[in-house]
Amino acid sequence: MKGIFLLRYFGVLLLAWAVPAFADNHLTTNNTGWVENPKPTWETQKQARTYQLLIPAPRGQIVDRNGNPLAQVRLSYNLAISFPTPLEWNDARILAFAKQQITFVSGLFNREIRISDPTILKHYRNRGIIPFVIVEDLGPTELNIVNKGLPPALILRQTYARVYPEGELASGVIGYTGKEAPLSNRIVENGDLIFPESEGREGIEQAFDYQLRGTPGRLNATYDKNGAKTSERIILPPVPGYTVVTTLDRDLQKICERVLKENVKKGAIVVIDPHTGDILALASWPTFDPNAFVPVINKATYEALSKDPNAPLLPRAFRSAYPPGSTFKVVVGLTALLNHSITPQTRLDCPSSLGVGNLVFRNWKKYDAGSLNFSEALIQSCNTWFYQVGLKTGASPIISLAQRLGLGHRTGIPLRAEERGNIPTDAYMVRVHHRHLLSGDVVNLSIGQGDVLVTPLQMAQLMAIIANQGLLPQIRLVKQIQTPDNQVVSAYPNRIRENVLIPPDIYRALKAALIEVTEGGSGTAHQAQVPGIQVAGKTGTAQWGPKLNQRTAAWFVGFLPADHPKYAFAAVSEGDPGDNSVHGSTHAAPLIGKVFRSVFQEGKSAALDK
């Protein structure tokens, strides 16, 4: 095939393209082949010279914890114009020649090809020795047409393209790539790439771009004094990029995304191994197909994604923060128990409302539920009971424990713009609201409202700590970086980040209450039940935004199996503005029930033990 040189390396097809001969763009080199004067001069045009160009390396893989590929490379075929030499045509002749080829290809493929005159001229003047790409990433039908033959001025060039074999799966985590800026604004120089590399633009692709890129190879192309190419050879082959091994489990991620797709407009599910801190699923909905960004995303497609009111480009699992609602009662109750403000047996009334200063705060139940102990209050999610406990305990201990449990701080996953959430301290209230924390603020804090904001990832982390009896493992999204032949380059070992001592009696009381939320007659999360498995959890429903256009976040957080936890989780369903029908018991708890009924029915839980 004209203009292509192939090399197989590490099982990946590498290439260099045959550089057309030229007359007026030469380099002066020393005896090592490297450039001494990178710009062509009148003197160098009379001598034979060598270009040493770079061959981009195949980008490394991103895989799940079991080695299943989530991002790979594939061969891509571009169609390019090879300009005749010497490169001394005037503008009119350059444009006439290029447009003749473009018109021919447009008819051949039955597609419109738009390339501006300045773009054509700039390439010819600066980089005319390099083929000028007019169609990128040919499809199978176009490739079959091309293989039947091309005019001499058109050549087929092989490049690398990113491919995401699982499509939309975990796209907000994996991210996507884009091509680096073209080099056509300057004259070709020694050390230039023979085609543009891709660079990470989001997610793991961006965070580990350096490791994924690999090491470019080197190609020597030599030209005689008349500009005719006399030789071309690869001096060094490219070295493929490293493989990024994530903690994600592809199959569990698929289950979570399927459940979200079938049941919510907007939401997220996060699942963590409570003993290691490994993120097994980090699912957001809606999502997008990163293959749409390869090689370059269509303008109309990008506008549709960016203007979609459901924000498919937003990975809600770690980049959106919501008020936690009644799920925060776990933090308030645990603080009060550890602080001895209450005991598991302390009984307080659960009235329909409670006056604090000149304000009245209400329970979600419109009747007096009587005297309740801690377990009963958590099971029934009595707001007025927790108002009293919050006021008795005070804001400072609640804030302190919430922060130790990882709320109001980024978890540290290696992804850009992880949302930190917010735990409203006194300093925050002074800075934002120009006043100190008041009793009314403590009441709101006690039920996870007001200025409290958390991410689904933070809430899954919180429940991992509870499941692990107070130990906070460092949350981990990437296990290790390894070479293409599986040699580990760097690893991210498990470690304990924090230890919140939870005495056995308090842990037993808290766990029993969380189990009753799902299993008990007065519980609010019956739809999260999994046959044969005890699920410990807490529902929550919280409103945020302007009162005339409020949105609701429906939560369910917890862990299972309750006695020997393998999974800590958080699920959130985001309601549309003005929709008051969204509740944790009816919209979030069922998500977890569907996920883990599928997990245990399919035997996926056993597979994760391996």
Same domain, yes or no, for 157 and 279? Answer: no
Q: Residue 5: exposed, middle, or buried by beta-carbon count in 10 A (0-12, 13-18, 19+)? A: middle
Task: Say if 44 falls within a structural domain.
Answer: no
With vertex at residue 387, the alpha carbon angle to CA 574 and CA 434, rounded to the nearest 5 degrees, is 75
CATH code, 559: 3.40.710.10
The answer to the question of residue 45 being in a domain is no
- Has residue 390 been placed in a domain? yes
Beta strand 243-246 pairing with 62-63: parallel
Would 104 be classed as within a structural domain?
yes
336 and 235, same structural domain? no
CB contact at 8 A, 219 and 234: yes
Buried b (16+ CB within 10 A) or exposed e, 486-500: eeeeeeeeeeebeeb
Same domain, 496 and 604: yes
Domain boundary among 245, 277, 292: 245
Same domain membership, residue 220 and residue 280 = no
Q: Give the distance from CA 324 to its chain's centroid.
A: 22
Q: How many Å apart are CA 575 and CA 552, to the nearest integer? A: 5
Whether residue 15 contacts residue 21, with contact meaning beta carbons closer than 8 Å, is answered with: no
Asked if 328 and 214 sit in the same domain, the reply is no
184 SS3 class: coil
Distance CA 481, CA 478 (A): 8
The reply to whether 29 falls in a domain is no
Residue type, 16: A
Tally of structural domains, the chain: 2
Q: Are residues 218 and 356 in the same domain?
A: no
- With beta carbons less than 8 A apart as the criterion, state whether 476 and 395 touch: no
Asked if residues 62 and 207 have their Cβ atoms less than 8 Å apart, the reply is: no
Nearest C-alpha neighbor of 524 from the set 464, 589, 477, 427 = 589
Same domain assignment for residues 191 and 251: no
> Do 66 and 171 lie in a common domain?
yes
Rg of the chain, C-alpha, whole Å: 31
pLDDT digits (tens, 9 = 90+) for 261-280: 999 999 999 999 999 999 99
DSSP characters over 44-111: GGGS-EEEEEEEPPPPPPEE-TTS-EEEEEEEEEEEEE---SS----HHHHHHHHHHHHHHHHHHHTS
Closest CA to 540 of 560, 566, 514: 514
User: Are 448 and 328 in a shared domain?
Assistant: yes
Token readout for 460 is 């899954």
Residues of the chain with pLDDT under 70: 1-48, 182-185, 226-229, 603-610
| Domain boundary residue, one of 245, 267, 287 | 245
Q: What is the CATH number of the domain that holds 240?
A: 3.90.1310.10
445 and 320 together in one domain? yes
Structural element, H or E, at residue 283:
strand 279-285
Instruction: For residue 486, give Cα distances in angstroms to 10, 72, 414.
Output: 12, 15, 22
Q: What pLDDT is recorded for position 285?
A: 98
269 and 219 inside one domain: no
| Segments forming the whole domain that contains residue 407 | 247-608
Q: Are 4 and 157 in contact (CB under 8 A)?
A: yes
Query: For residues 32 and 45, what is the distance between their CA atoms, to the nearest angstrom?
Result: 20
Establish how many alpha carbons lie within 13 A of residue 466's alpha carbon, considering only the half-sphere containing its beta carbon: 38
Chain centre distance of CA 375 = 38
Do the domain assignments include residue 36? no
CB 249 within 8 A of CB 608: yes
Q: Does residue 94 sit within a domain?
A: yes
Which pLDDT score, from 0 to 100, does residue 12 have? 35
pLDDT tens column, 350-402: 998 898 888 888 888 878 879 999 999 999 999 999 999 999 999 999 999 99
Report the run of H or E that residue 2 belongs to, with start and end.
none
Of the residues 183, 210, 245, the one at which a domain ends: 245
Q: Is 27 inside any structural domain?
A: no
Residues 425 and 486 in one domain: yes
Backbone φ and ψ for 474, nearest 5 degrees, come out as -65, 125
pLDDT at 333 (0 to 100): 97
Distance CA(80)–CA(71), nearest Å, equals 27
* Rounded-to-integer distance, Cα 58 and Cα 242, Å: 10
Phi first, then psi: give them for residue 423, nearest 5 degrees: -115, 110
d(CA 453, CA 551): 14
Task: Please answer whether residues 474 and 340 qualify as being in contact, where contact means their C-beta atoms are separated by less than 8 angstroms.
Answer: no
